[in-house]
Amino acid sequence: MIFDAVIFDLDGLLLDTERLALAAGTEALASLGHAVPEEVFISLIGIDAVEGHRMLCDHLGCTLDAAALDAAWLQAMDARMAGGVPLRPGVHQTLAALDAHALPRAVATNSGTARATEKLAAAGLGGRFATIVGFDAVLRGKPAPDVYLEAARRLGAAPARCLALEDSDTGVRAAHAAGMTVVQIPDMHPSRERLAHHQAASLTEALALFGL
């Protein structure tokens, strides 16, 4: 087997939540008296909350109350996820294929660990990953490699023997810096950087590249 473990991003890769987050963010900022175009939100995909606040402030030319924005965004997002969290195509088939090969897997995300765990449970994926590493579990979030390196450490796998699956350029940079084989499966917009080792249209296509 070419890999010892598979490490997944979360939002936009396993969970079809980027569109929900865009709508929730638009609502949250509007409640604080701000309007932001869609392309700005798209530029935040894969970015952790601290960097996202900075980028929004730069765009708006003002200081945002980060706590108030986070609370409003969380409330708007929770309302949209009340009926469950939608999955990206091929998630169950992909996890079943990894089960068949007895390949351990983890989630490495720029979401907080507790929040990521809640979303996975709401999507019906609770217990399907050996470990979940959020940005709060490491020193630096993506694009630094920390979440990927910590996930590999917890799985007992050498980074060079890990397959990383990502949707965003930010996440690809993180996995690439960790020394992993990276397949990018873009969600809301195509890659601008093309840094991944491979591009795929879906999770199942990504696994098929390696005979999985």
- Residues carrying an active site annotation: 9, 11
Which contiguous run of DSSP H or E holds residue 51?
helix 49-60
What is the Cβ-side half-sphere exposure of residue 141, based on CA atoms within 13 angstroms? 17
Tokens of 199: 């591009």
Tokens 């469950």 correspond to what residue? 84
Q: Which of 106, 73, 84, 72 is nearest to 16 (CA)?
A: 84
Integer Cα distance of 136 and 147 in angstroms: 9
Query: Could you tell me the two tokens for 140?
Result: 């630096």
The helix/strand/coil state of 11 is strand
Measuring CA to CA, which residue among 83, 163, 85, 154 is closest to residue 125? Answer: 85
